[in-house]
């Protein structure tokens, strides 16, 4: 029961981990990208479109499908779709100096609208009775487990039974953490987010770093959308099923104090909190809704505690949300 | 002279829109010398140096380095020509350590903070800096931050160093220390360019002085062959009387008695600690101290903008000889009590005036409660605005121009004019000449002296110790929120005040 609860928490947490790792990379460059929910949504639908086309081209027979391609095509589609969204965001805010909050919110609206449009179109093509598309074959490749995981009892279930995107999420978070704190690129990126004028004077290309961080961050976040469809939802896409996971990912960034390694723990805590209502007996529907607030309540508590402790290292990047113009006088 | 020219500027012109910031500037700096660039605020000194360090690109003209033409389009290019600039506003990342800031942006070799730290320690020893490379910037004093900036450019191997107003934030002792380091660098063969508007520093430090006026190059003189008045004339374009008239205070009575006030800020730090002093009518009381020692909080406490945890502020009303306690009163309550208090805050467009409103409307900010109908009466404020524009020579297209479009000096004149027009009995001014040219500065000093003659108790928070010593009757020095001493403005020396500024223990107090 407890093992099951933890596994479920991890499964729920992984999309959030992708989203918040991506947002951390972006925010470290000084971009408050509120488009993350839309970007994750676009990542998901891009992957769905990719795998839909591939499944159809293989004549709907799983034997014809190449496992490598079946994974690679949705993966690349998700990355491409999400990166494109990041590119739009960067172009608007860096090149055209548009307001970051407005741009981000517009991208969220755009992403969700685009996702629903493409989703509805695919449903229309399949002439399905249900308002959803099932890509169970592709999903089976995504959620393949290590063959020996089941033989190792609780250990196997807890640590080895997850889909490969879960492990990738943790690896990406650790790599990002290493890059941010131990490399020159990370130092440069952090300086761009803290004080772009200083970075500029030090010869760092602020524009390049902001573009790259935002696009890479978006790509990472897009994978979260894909993982949600392929592993969590077993390959079933239905419009709006992704819910408010994108916002939760942004809340998680604050919870994790802009540290990717903290985001790993945080995402599983959030996953557990989201799921707690299903494991507590005798809750009415209205109390269940109250339980769903828990991640946000915890985020607020963390915010209160960190702002009371006032440690500078725990504050957001100093230039978060502020565009940079070199010749502003 | 057999000195090598390190950098030469030829016919440099830079425009920002219609504004010409630099026009046809020619300049040469040699290795092994300290060159001062002297000019008033807005004369284009910083713009010129920004073109050498790659922040801006000149519209016309050429830059030669070691007698070869150089094209500097970015700070990176500037580094490759071994040019290092120490900006007036430090370009440091607060949450990084000194070492991280120093290596920021360097792209050769491996990222290895340990080796870099060793290197930083070596440079520190060579020139006599004191710095802990692992210390975070946000825990540092201003002077330490400046040290980081200087080491940053030395670490990159710069041999042309440009310092933009490096002493603006330093105490006299720290300034002397910096100058010694700069002299050591000069003797080491480096070319040092220092931007400043303080004449005595130019005379004591530099070998040659180049003067800019309104973006144009006026000329270069050898420091040994010039004088303060000649430099001023070059800088301003006409002869200026540099003496501030200071009359003996007469008929002084106690006006404002501050008694043991303590103030704790939102972060829980004590910003004012048991401050007691008396401001007398007909006297200018100067307040000196390192920036951020509690000057702002002190004035705001008196103006009713700070919550005090203890102490009292007593105002002796000359009209009816009553004593009022101003503690924990709002500015409106203070005004309603008949206390005529005027306050010129350091943040002119943030606290003093509303930038998007015109001069007339800004006048009304002080008098809006006088109206009794629901419609605005613009006649009186408009007259006042016109009077200020004429009397104080405010340069503005009209009284209906938003004040944010005026230059710093004119904004200050509008603010000081309005506050004085309220015929105060206590006038508090914070850094009233910051960013002003010499003429405007002296006009403000004269206005303060006039108020003093009228029997107003003037409290003057200043940063330039020379001015404080010339203008004030008494000078109160504060350090870290405590009074570290009160000296006589006529007999005290700069060194004495400088020592008090850095003294943090409570040893002085009201004499």
Q: Does B16 touch chain A (CB under 8 A)?
A: yes
**What is the arithmetic mean of pLDDT over A205-233?**
95
Distance from CA of A175 to the nearest CA of B (A): 17
pLDDT band, residue A237 (cuts 50/70/90) = very high
Distance from CA of B63 to the nearest CA of A (A): 19
Distance from CA of A318 to the nearest CA of B (A): 9
Q: How confident is the model over A241-272, as pLDDT tens digits? A: 888 899 989 989 988 989 999 999 999 999 99
CA B374, B375, B377, B382 dihedral sign is positive
pLDDT band, residue B410 (cuts 50/70/90) = confident
Q: B-chain residues within 8 Å CB-CB of A312?
A: 94-95, 136, 138
Per-state percent for chain B, helix, strand, coil, to nearest 5: 35, 25, 40
Model pLDDT, residue B505: 47
Distance from CA of B58 to the nearest CA of A (A): 13
Q: How confident is the model over B30-87, as pLDDT tens digits? A: 999 999 998 877 788 888 988 998 888 899 999 999 989 999 988 888 888 999 888 8
**What is the arithmetic mean of pLDDT over A165-175?**
95
Q: A-chain residues within 8 Å CB-CB of B94?
A: 194-195, 312, 318
3-state secondary structure of B66: coil
Per-domain residue ranges for chain A? 2-144+157-314
Vertex A99: Cα angle to A95 and A104 (nearest 5) = 95
How far apart are alpha carbons B508 and B485 in whole angstroms?
Answer: 5
CB contact at 8 A, B495 and B505: no
Q: Does B15 touch chain A (CB under 8 A)?
A: no
The residue in chain A having the minimum alpha-carbon distance to the alpha carbon of residue B105 is: A202
Whether A198 and B91 lie within 8 Å, measured CB to CB = yes
Pick the CATH number of A2-144+157-314 from 2.40.128, 1.10.10, 1.10.3470, 3.30.300: 1.10.3470
User: Is pLDDT of B107 > 90?
Assistant: no
Lowest mean pLDDT among A6-20, A284-298, B452-466: A284-298
User: Is pLDDT of B461 > 70?
Assistant: yes
pLDDT band, residue B509 (cuts 50/70/90) = very low
Per-domain residue ranges for chain B? 5-236, 254-502
How far apart are alpha carbons B208 and B226 in whole angstroms?
Answer: 10
**What is the arithmetic mean of pLDDT over B363-385?**
82
pLDDT band, residue B290 (cuts 50/70/90) = confident
What's chain B's length in residues? 511
User: Is pLDDT of A207 > 90?
Assistant: yes
Chain A with chain B: Cβ pairs closer than 8 A: 67
Model pLDDT, residue A122: 92
Model pLDDT, residue B241: 66
User: Is pLDDT of B510 > 50?
Assistant: no
**The domains spanning B5-236 and B254-502 adopt the same CATH topology:** yes
Q: Torsions phi, psi of B2, nearest 5?
A: -105, 25
Model pLDDT, residue B449: 92
Model pLDDT, residue A113: 95
Distance from CA of A173 to the nearest CA of B (A): 21
**What is the arithmetic mean of pLDDT over B113-134?**
90
Q: Which span out of A34-43, A275-284, B492-501 was modeled with the highest average pLDDT?
A: A34-43
**What is the arithmetic mean of pLDDT over B361-380?**
81
How far apart are alpha carbons A42 and A305 in whole angstroms?
Answer: 34
**What is the arithmetic mean of pLDDT over A43-70?**
88
- Strands, DSSP E only, in B139-202? 160-164, 191-196
- Which tokens sit at A129? 């009775």
Q: A-chain residues within 8 Å CB-CB of B87?
A: 201
- Report the DSSP pairing between strands B283-288 and B457-461: parallel
User: Is pLDDT of B182 > 90?
Assistant: yes
Q: Which span out of A259-263, A309-313, B438-442 was modeled with the highest average pLDDT?
A: A259-263
User: Distances in Å between the alpha carbon of B12 and those of A21, B7, B28, B232, B323?
Assistant: 48, 13, 12, 24, 62
Percentage of chain B with pLDDT > 70? 97
Q: How confident is the model over B309-329, as pLDDT tens digits? A: 899 999 988 888 888 888 888
CB contact at 8 A, B182 and B192: yes
The residue among A36 and B392 whose pLDDT is bigger is A36
Q: What CATH number was assigned to the domain covering residues B5-236?
A: 3.40.50.300
Percentage of chain A with pLDDT > 70? 98
Whether B107 and A315 lie within 8 Å, measured CB to CB = no
Q: Does B111 touch chain A (CB under 8 A)?
A: yes
pLDDT band, residue B242 (cuts 50/70/90) = low
Model pLDDT, residue B379: 85
Lowest mean pLDDT among A139-153, B220-234, B256-270, B420-434: A139-153
Q: B-chain residues within 8 Å CB-CB of A199?
A: 93, 104-105
Model pLDDT, residue B506: 45
Q: B121 Cβ partners below 8 Å, 6+ apart? A: B133
How far apart are alpha carbons A184 and B111 in whole angstroms?
Answer: 6
pTM exceeding 0.90: no
Q: A-chain residues within 8 Å CB-CB of B76?
A: 203
Give me the CATH topology for the region B254-502.
Rossmann fold (3.40.50)
Lowest mean pLDDT among A58-62, A119-123, A254-258: A58-62
Q: Give, as one character, the DSSP assignment of residue B249.
A: P
- Which tokens sit at B410? 């004119």
Q: Which of residues 283-322 of A touch B (CB under 8 A)?
A: 310, 312-313, 315, 318
- Which tokens sit at B353? 């005036």
Q: Give, as one character, the DSSP assignment of residue A311.
A: -
The residue in chain A having the minimum alpha-carbon distance to the alpha carbon of residue B101 is: A191
User: Is pLDDT of B100 > 90?
Assistant: yes
Instruction: Answer left, alpha or beta for residue A145, where phi above 0 means left and psi between -120 and 50 means alpha.
Output: beta
| Residue among B74, B92, B94 minimizing CB distance to A203 | B74
Q: Does A105 touch chain B (CB under 8 A)?
A: no
Quick count: other Cβ atoms within 10 Å of Cβ B479? 23
- Give me the residues paired with residue B488 across strands: B474
**What is the arithmetic mean of pLDDT over A222-232?**
94
User: Is pLDDT of A117 > 80?
Assistant: yes
Vertex B463: Cα angle to B458 and B469 (nearest 5) = 65
| Residue among B85, B95, B111 minimizing CB distance to A183 | B111
- Which tokens sit at B105? 């942006």
How far apart are alpha carbons A222 and A26 in whole angstroms?
Answer: 13
- Strands, DSSP E only, in B160-309? 160-164, 191-196, 208-213, 216-222, 254-264, 270-280, 283-288
Distance from CA of B24 to the nearest CA of A (A): 21
Whether A191 and B96 lie within 8 Å, measured CB to CB = yes
Quick count: other Cβ atoms within 10 Å of Cβ B395? 11
Whether B105 and A310 lie within 8 Å, measured CB to CB = no
How far apart are alpha carbons A26 and A90 in whole angstroms?
Answer: 10
């Amino acid at each position: 029961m407890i093992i099951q609860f933890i596994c479920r928490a991890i499964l729920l947490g992984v999309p959030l981990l992708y989203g918040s790792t991506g947002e951390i990379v972006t925010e470290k460059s000084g971009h408050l990208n509120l488009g993350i929910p839309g970007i994750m949504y676009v990542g998901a639908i891009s992957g769905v479109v990719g795998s839909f086309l591939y499944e159809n081209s293989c004549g709907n027979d799983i034997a014809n499908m190449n496992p490598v391609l079946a994974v690679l095509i949705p993966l690349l589609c998700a990355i491409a779709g999400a990166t494109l969204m990041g590119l739009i965001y960067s172009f608007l805010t860096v090149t055209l100096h548009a307001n970051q909050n407005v741009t981000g919110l517009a991208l969220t609206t755009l992403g969700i609208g685009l996702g629903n449009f493409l989703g509805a179109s695919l449903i229309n093509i399949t002439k399905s009775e249900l308002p959803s598309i099932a890509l169970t074959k592709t999903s089976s490749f995504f959620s393949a487990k290590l063959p020996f995981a089941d033989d190792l009892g609780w250990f196997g279930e807890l640590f080895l039974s997850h889909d490969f995107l879960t492990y990738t999420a943790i690896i990406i978070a650790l790599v990002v953490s290493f890059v941010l704190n131990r490399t020159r690129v990370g130092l440069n990126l952090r300086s761009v987010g803290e004080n772009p004028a200083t970075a500029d004077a030090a010869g760092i290309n602020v524009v390049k770093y902001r573009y790259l961080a935002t696009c890479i961050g978006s790509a990472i976040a897009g994978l979260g959308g894909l993982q949600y469809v392929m592993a969590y939802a077993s390959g079933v896409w239905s419009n709006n099923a992704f819910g408010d996971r994108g916002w939760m990912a942004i809340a998680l960034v604050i919870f994790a104090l802009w540290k990717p390694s903290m985001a790993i723990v945080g995402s599983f805590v959030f996953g557990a909190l989201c799921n707690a209502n299903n494991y507590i007996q005798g809750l009415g529907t209205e109390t269940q809704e109250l339980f769903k607030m828990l991640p946000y309540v915890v985020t607020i508590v963390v915010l209160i505690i960190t702002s009371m402790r006032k440690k500078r290292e725990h504050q957001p990047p100093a230039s978060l949300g502020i565009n940079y113009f070199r010749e502003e006088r | 002279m057999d000195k090598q020219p390190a950098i030469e500027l030829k016919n440099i012109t830079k425009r920002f829109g219609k504004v010409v910031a630099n026009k046809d500037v020619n300049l040469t700096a040699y290795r092994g010398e300290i060159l001062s660039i002297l000019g008033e605020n807005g004369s284009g000194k910083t713009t010129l140096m920004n073109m050498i360090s790659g922040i801006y690109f000149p519209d016309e003209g050429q830059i030669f380095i070691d007698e070869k033409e150089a094209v500097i389009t970015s700070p990176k290019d500037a580094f490759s020509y071994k040019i290092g600039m120490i900006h007036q506003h430090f370009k440091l990342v607060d949450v990084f350590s000194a070492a991280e800031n120093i290596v920021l942006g360097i792209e050769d070799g491996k990222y290895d903070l340990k080796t870099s730290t060793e290197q930083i320690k070596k440079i520190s020893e060579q020139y006599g800096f004191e710095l802990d490379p692992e210390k975070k910037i946000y825990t540092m004093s201003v002077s330490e931050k400046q040290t980081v900036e200087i080491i940053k450019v030395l670490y990159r191997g710069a041999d042309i160093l440009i310092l933009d107003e490096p002493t603006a934030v330093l105490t006299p002792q720290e300034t002397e220390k910096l100058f010694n380091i700069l002299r050591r660098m000069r003797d080491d063969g480096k070319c040092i360019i220092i931007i400043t508007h303080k004449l005595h520093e130019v005379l004591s430090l530099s070998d040659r002085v180049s003067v800019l006026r309104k973006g144009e190059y006026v000329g270069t003189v050898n420091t040994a062959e010039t004088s303060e008045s000649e430099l001023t004339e070059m800088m301003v374009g006409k002869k200026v009387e540099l003496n501030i008239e200071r009359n003996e205070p007469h008929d002084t009575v106690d006006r404002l008695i501050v008694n043991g006030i303590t103030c704790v800020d939102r972060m829980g730090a004590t910003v004012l600690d048991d401050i007691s002093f008396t401001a007398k009518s007909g006297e200018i009381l100067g307040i000196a101290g390192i920036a951020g020692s509690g000057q702002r909080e002190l004035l705001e406490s008196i103006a009713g903008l700070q919550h005090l945890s203890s102490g009292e502020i007593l105002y002796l009303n000359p009209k009816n000889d009553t004593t009022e306690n101003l503690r924990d009163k709002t500015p409106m309550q203070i005004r309603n009590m008949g206390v005529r208090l005027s306050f010129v805050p350091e943040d002119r467009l943030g606290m003093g005036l509303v930038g998007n409103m015109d001069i007339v409307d800004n006048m009304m900010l002080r008098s809006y409660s006088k109206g009794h109908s629901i419609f605005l009466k613009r006649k009186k404020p408009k007259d006042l605005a016109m009077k200020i524009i004429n009397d104080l020579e405010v340069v503005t297209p009209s009284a209906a121009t938003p004040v944010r479009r005026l230059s710093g000096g004119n904004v200050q004149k509008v603010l000081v004019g309005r506050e004085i027009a309220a015929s105060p009995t206590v006038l508090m001014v914070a850094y009233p000449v910051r960013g002003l040219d010499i003429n405007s500065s002296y006009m403000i000093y004269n206005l303060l002296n006039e108020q003093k003659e009228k029997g107003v108790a003037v409290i003057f928070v200043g940063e330039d110790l020379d001015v404080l010593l010339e203008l004030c009757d008494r000078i109160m020095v504060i350090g870290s929120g405590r009074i570290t001493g009160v000296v006589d403005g006529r007999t005290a020396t700069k060194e004495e005040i400088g020592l008090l500024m850095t003294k943090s223990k409570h040893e002085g107090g009201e004499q």
